[in-house]
Structure 1
Amino acid sequence: MGDSVTGEGSNYRIVSPSLTVKAMRDSGYKNTAYALAELIDNSIDAEAGLVQVFACEKPFEGATQTRYRVETIAVLDDGKGMDKDLLRRALKYGDGLGDDRNRIGRFGMGLPNSSMSQCTRVDVWSWTNTAANALWTYLDLEEIAAGRDDVPEPELRRVPAYWDGLSEAPLGRSGTLVVWSNLDRVKWHGAGATLRNTAELIGRIYRHYLKDGAVTIKMAPVREGEVIDDEKKGWYYAEPNDPLYLMDKSGTPEPFNSTPMFEPFGVGNEGEPGVYPFPILTPDGTKHTVTVRASIARPEARRPNVPGHPWPDSANPNRDGGWQPWGKHAARNIGISLVRQGRELDLDSSWAIGYNPVERWWGLEVDFPPELDEVFGVTNNKQTATVFSSLSDFDWFTEKDSDETPKAFRDRLKEFGDPREPLLALAQFLVELLKKMRRKLDQQTFGSRGGRQRHDKDVTSKATDAVKRRHEDGHTGTTDRLAKDATEADKRQEQLAALTERHHVDEHTAQSLVDEALENDWRVRWISSPQDSSAFFNIDLLAGMLQVSFNTEHPLHSKLMAVLEDVPENANEAELRQRLARATETFKLLIFSWARMEDEIPSKKDRRVIADARSDWGRYARDFIEDGSEEE
């Protein structure tokens, strides 16, 4: 066949070396940390108990001072190591260790694909009989661009003493070392800060392995041949980072580093609450089980006044949970976590609703077996599952024919071989589950909205004062008459029943709301809850309590209330102005809708009744808004 190195000049080569190099480099890794995860996959598959990641800095002269940037990245493990044939195959695209579905790195693309996405040269040492007898080989993009199309034959070469010296423990009888150099696509600058952030991501990807103690992953910034010293002696430990926040011990900020921040959501079964086994049929009719795990925040994660669960002294009780360290941590873990073979593929945020702060307070994990790789659309670089992600915005009514039943629609997709069909039922299940979770989360913070808490109390106090003034002026309402002969115990019981039974507020939150109202002698309460009504708000007339419930199912809630209240923490001035403009537009449309209602009333007498009601409402609005300050 001739020399393995073929020149670029061949006119009939299927893919030119230059295009091959480009394909290697543009492999779609989100960042360097995700590329590193491919190497850690290989280490775990090699049964490594310890994986060490080194980011080695080199000084360079900046404009005003000496600065440092990462020039080499290495991953060292104590796994089984590789023989000559296995090592050479590991650097071959599309071969690796073969199509073994029991491996998390089964695609045979990880080592060369991830490495060349970040650097132009990768060197690999692997040994099965001490590091002194290691085998070494490499890939170099310059050589590949020049026409090299085979992996250099491994040769016996001892692991350099430099890496042996950096290792936290002496190199064992077996292991592998991968070194990236010529890092032309790595965005890292300072190694220390970068590794801290990378440890959080790695902790999430491998959280199940870390929790079970199957592997320890440590990261060290290196400067001039020495691990940079700090309070942890330079090492950053990857701690379990659970987006479901159900693990007892994790890297979540205190007080939730040693106790779960979330709780299982839904019935599930007594042995495994919040766990849903979901059957999936592959196109060939084989049945597999996908495990869905669901969780939502405990009330104490969002509110500082839950009995028995005070926030730490370092927390700001005047800001809501989202502004606290644990809330900001949860904001980095928004989405549905896709887990394959115990390893997270992706945290798919496409299922979350924009910047709605409540999205951080739920967790969903979809754990599927490797046999469903094709059904989910798992990519070679294990960055995502394309078919599953495409269903986050699936619109049933847009895609089906007007007279088509759900079964007929699914049958048609199956007949056409639509790749989404096997996952449609799962997607619908997740959509409905998320609706229930969001509804429960909305109910958790009634009357206790953290950063808005002071504002909410001011509004409640002003409205209460207006109610009391009108009562003193001889205007008696139903709530006043009901309160006349009611004891405090009667009021408490009636309000608790209304909140928990009518509006499905959890008992802890309802108790807190009632205690606060009775303590402050408040006569009004504003809550939001889903209601089967065309009205955008409804009224509960209770003994001494005028309770207004805003209908979250009405478009006015998302177009007005959510726009004004659910403001992202990082919203800039332009975004705030845009929100005010949208709220103003919605308010004007609300008034126009009333005007059109009057316009369409055919009876002059009925129009006069509605006009009188409008005038009466205007007088009441004046009394409440002016809060008595205009009185003589």
Structure 2
Amino acid sequence: MGARVTSDDSNYRIVTPALTVKAMRDSGYKNTAYALAELIDNSIDAGATLVEVFACESPVQVSSRTRQRVETIAVLDNGKGMDSETLRRALKYGDGLGDDRKRIGRFGMGLPNSSMSQCTRVEVWSWTNGPGNALYTYLDLAEINDGRDAVPDPIHVQGGVPEYWRDLSDGLLSDTGTLVVWRNLDRVNWYGAAATLKNTSELIGRVYRHFLHEDKVDIRMAPVRDGEVVAGAYYAAPNDPLYLMKSTCAPTPFDDKPMFEPFNMGNENEPGVTYFPITVEGIEHKVKVRAAIARPEARRPDVADHPWPAGASPNKDAGNHPWGKHAGRNIGISLVRQGRELDLDSSWAIGYDPVERWWGVEVEFPPALDEIFGVTNNKQTATIFSSLAHFDWQAEAEADETFKAFKDRLAELGDPRLQLFDLALYLETKLLRTMRRQLKQQTVGRRKSKKRHDDEVTSKATDAVKRRRDEGHTGKTDQLEDGVTNQDKRQEQVDALTQRHHLDEDTAQSMVDEALEKDWRVRWISSYQDTHAFFSIDLMAGMLQVIFNNSHPLHDQLLAVLEEVPEDATDSDLKYRLRRAADTFKLLLFSWARMEDEIPNDRQREKIADARRDWGRYARDFIDGEADE
């Protein structure tokens, strides 16, 4: 038999309405756009094909000037509407429409929680038989503070939906629908109507990009002044952080064509896609991972048949152009649930690296995995998934514990992260690492100042090679060149750059054409190599190609320290970099010395010493330009 609540128990409620609502107002919506998204969720769940967002402004006196400030925000839809019982429950915290996993919203918090996070009074009209028969109810913070503890019973008001809102709509109101109005705004992030909608539409376009792209819903953004929609009303366009969609809000030239391409995984039916199974209560669910990477023309102005727009300086880094800045606002892994983005989780990115803007990853999971991912009740993030960014299992493992033993131990402890470990490690150590490597190769030779210095070194090394050849010191590359046409040289070099070192075709062709035109005999590139050697060599017809191994610590400790210097580096930073490079160079020579020291055979040790002396003579020739007799 259930416990009976008496009048005496009213003083001992588990929650007090006024304090609960006050606490929920601070529950953490990132901004007005995320709060509005909760209302749009409800509209889409109600089957709406049109959602209209109105930002209504009025003049206010600020110092000696009059400015426009948003005083009311409203969301109107043509969904199926609500009857009296459903409408009243929709405004009740923690009730809503129950735990329906087929809906975008399922926590029963969206309408009251999002609304009261932005305003002190929310009014709702909903109708199932024409807007003239709309039911009306509301929540008011002042009344709640005065003791109201129940949602007012919905009533029919004369005339139904006010004419003010009917006139603002883009057409006649449908026979069914809902209107939510936020009044007494006290937490809206932006002042004017246009600014409010501008800052809202980019996020709304990203959150609902799949619905917009598939024409399942239109979202109209309408600034209102003096009771009329002012010029500048528009429909939200998809904002795809993977930049694979056409007709998006991305700046020209990528507003009507993809800026990225599917990453090299998946199959021809689903390029750039892979799946991860996760089993819950004996049922297997699939997590879909989609990945994309910038097309070469997004980052380079010299890609054939893909010129940058007129006025876009080719000497300016792509990240500083409008499309690059747009990509810079879409950094991270996009978490998608029920076709709706929960969060663009930037914790997976390397925050200081501008190259991070040029990859996109989407992780899509079904609502059945909400608890596994740690979805919050305001649908803004998935806490368990986010906690695994840059996850290092070895840092948490016990001494000599294998990965399997580590997982078995955490399974015994009931660690909630366990079922996402394999997914997180795949994203961090395989997918993102591979994508970053490819992006590093994409702009080889693009930095003007670095390229100028590289050209000088290449020319000096080429002179040394030619001088030694003329003096009778023939190398393998000289022998391979005999009888070979320039076209054969071009093809051999392009194949090496694209197939062995993963440069894109356009970049490789450009580099080879320049080398042949200038008769260069050497080339320096960086590439990730699966070897302990810090550099390797390609011997081709007329071309000596040196490949610095990006995966070797020497790259980060020496080459990157000297070459990847920020434009705004201070004198102290430059001195630090020089000291660090000098220390690394000394350690490099110490490592060679110890290698000779550990060779057990005297004869073999002497051969290594001969090689060291020979290298010294070649170094003198290349650096000073003085051939050794």
> Quick one: which of 356, 375, 378 aligns to 1:378?
375
Structure-2 change in CA distance of 1:562 and 1:197 (3 Å): farther
1:292 matched to 2:289? The reply is yes
Structure 1 gap segments, 5+ residues each = 628-632
Q: Is the 8 A contact 2:557 2:584 kept in 1?
A: no
List per-residue Cα deviations over 1:517-573 (Å, max 9, x = no partner).
2123333323211113334333434343342322110223334544666678xx8x4
Aligned to 1:331: 328
Structure 1 residue 285, shift from structure 2 partner: 2.9
Question: What secondary structure sits across from 2:574 in the alignment?
Answer: helix
Structure-2 change in CA distance of 1:146 and 1:387 (3 Å): same
The residue type equivalent to 2:196 in the other structure is: T
Q: Structure 1 residues 529-538 or 378-387, which shifts more?
A: 529-538
The residue type equivalent to 2:263 in the other structure is: F
Question: What secondary structure sits across from 1:29 in the alignment?
Answer: coil
Aligned to 1:72: 72
Q: Is the 8 A contact 2:55 2:196 kept in 1?
A: no
Aligned-partner Cα distance in 2 for 1:578–1:96:
59
Q: Is the 8 A contact 2:122 2:181 kept in 1?
A: yes
Aligned to 2:251: 253
Question: What secondary structure sits across from 2:524 in the alignment?
Answer: strand
Q: Is the 8 A contact 1:17 1:146 kept in 2?
A: no
Aligned to 1:201: 203
Structure-2 change in CA distance of 1:583 and 1:247 (3 Å): same
Structure 1 residue 71, shift from structure 2 partner: 1.6
Aligned to 2:139: 139
Structure 1 residue 183, shift from structure 2 partner: 1.6
Q: Is the 8 A contact 1:56 1:223 kept in 2?
A: yes
The residue type equivalent to 1:218 in the other structure is: R
1:545 matched to 2:538? The reply is no
Structure 2 gap segments, 5+ residues each = none
Aligned-partner Cα distance in 1 for 2:65–2:299:
45
Structure 1 residue 409, shift from structure 2 partner: 2.2
Q: Structure 1 residues 346-355 or 480-489, which shifts more?
A: 480-489
Structure-2 change in CA distance of 1:556 and 1:25 (3 Å): farther
Question: What secondary structure sits across from 2:350 in the alignment?
Answer: coil
1:302 matched to 2:302? The reply is no
Q: Structure 1 residues 311-320 or 453-462, which shifts more?
A: 453-462
Aligned-partner Cα distance in 2 for 1:217–1:203:
9
Aligned-partner Cα distance in 2 for 1:271–1:91:
44
List per-residue Cα deviations over 1:102-159 (Å, max 9, x = no partner).
1101111001111111111111111122222211111112222232211111121222
Aligned-partner Cα distance in 1 for 2:593–2:385:
49
Q: Structure 1 residues 604-613 or 46-55, which shifts more?
A: 604-613
Aligned-partner Cα distance in 2 for 1:477–1:194:
71
Question: What secondary structure sits across from 2:292 in the alignment?
Answer: strand
Structure 1 residue 213, shift from structure 2 partner: 0.8
List per-residue Cα deviations over 1:28-71 (Å, max 9, x = no partner).
11111011100000010111111111112221222342112222
Structure 1 residue 385, shift from structure 2 partner: 0.8
List per-residue Cα deviations over 1:302-352 (Å, max 9, x = no partner).
222222322222322222332232222111111111111110111111111
Aligned-partner Cα distance in 2 for 1:446–1:403:
41
Aligned-partner Cα distance in 2 for 1:79–1:497:
57
1:320 matched to 2:314? The reply is no
Aligned-partner Cα distance in 1 for 2:564–2:57:
43
Q: Is the 8 A contact 1:296 1:362 kept in 2?
A: yes
Structure 1 residue 265, shift from structure 2 partner: 1.7
> Quick one: which of 396, 402, 407 aligns to 2:404?
407
The root-mean-square deviation of aligned C-alpha atoms, in Å, is 3.0
1:213 matched to 2:215? The reply is yes
Question: What secondary structure sits across from 1:392 in the alignment?
Answer: coil
> Quick one: which of 357, 361, 365 aligns to 1:360?
357
Aligned-partner Cα distance in 1 for 2:188–2:554:
47
Aligned-partner Cα distance in 1 for 2:588–2:212:
59
Question: What secondary structure sits across from 1:182 in the alignment?
Answer: strand
Structure-2 change in CA distance of 1:617 and 1:32 (3 Å): farther
Structure 1 residue 482, shift from structure 2 partner: 5.1
- 1:34-183 to 2 correspondences below 5 Å: 34-157=34-157, 158-183=160-185
Aligned-partner Cα distance in 2 for 1:206–1:5:
45
- 1:491-502 to 2 correspondences below 5 Å: 491-502=489-500
Question: What secondary structure sits across from 2:248 in the alignment?
Answer: coil
- 1:400-479 to 2 correspondences below 5 Å: 400-431=397-428, 432-447=430-445, 449=446, 452-453=447-448, 455-465=450-460, 467-468=462-463, 471-472=466-467, 478=475, 479=477
Aligned-partner Cα distance in 1 for 2:540–2:586:
32
- State the percentage of identical aligned residues: 62
Structure-2 change in CA distance of 1:514 and 1:622 (3 Å): closer
Structure-2 change in CA distance of 1:182 and 1:495 (3 Å): same
Structure 1 residue 610, shift from structure 2 partner: 9.0
Q: Is the 8 A contact 1:460 1:522 kept in 2?
A: no
Aligned to 1:580: 574
Q: Is the 8 A contact 2:450 2:563 kept in 1?
A: no
Q: Is the 8 A contact 1:563 1:582 kept in 2?
A: no
Aligned to 1:630: none
